[in-house]
Amino acid sequence: MMPLSAGSAWAVLLVAGLCEVAWAIGLKYTEGFSRFWPTAWTLAAMALSVVLLGWSLKTLPVSTAYAVWAGIGAVGTALLGIVLFDESREVVRLVCISLIVAGILGLKLFSR
């Protein structure tokens, strides 16, 4: 794969992070990897997430890209847990999620 422009690398990293969310949520639906289709989709999302992360690393610094990727996964999974699985909506929890978002934005804004 060819190296990406900085803008494209960030876009690929965003998609990689969304795939991270997909596989994390998908784990819940696999029921311990006992359901074929949810397991297949989860494994595909895992693979795509890592491949896209690796592709973005041709352009972006590993420390920044990995932290942003993991942050997107954490925030997206936490928010979908609230929406899909009726997980806690406590204010302190939402503030903590907001802090992760602030960290992701800070890394994006202040990275070369």
pLDDT per position as a tens digit, 10-23: 999 999 999 999 99
- The answer to whether residue 23 is domain-embedded is yes
CA angle 50, 75, 90 (to 5 degrees): 155
pLDDT, mean of residues 25-46:
98
* pLDDT value at 77 more than 90: yes
99/52 Cα distance (integer angstroms): 25
pLDDT of residue 111: 82
Mean pLDDT (the chain) is 96
Structural domain containing residue 14:
6-109
Residue 83 lies in a domain: yes
**How far is it, in rounded angstroms, from Cα 51 to Cα 27?**
19
Q: Give residue 45's pLDDT.
A: 98
Domain count for the chain: 1
Q: In sequence order, what E strands does the chain have?
A: none
User: Is 85 contained in some domain?
Assistant: yes
Residue 61 within any structural domain of the chain: yes
Domain membership of residue 1 (yes or no) is: no
Cα distances (Å, whole numbers) of residue 4 to 14, 25, 71: 14, 29, 21
pLDDT at 112 over 80: no
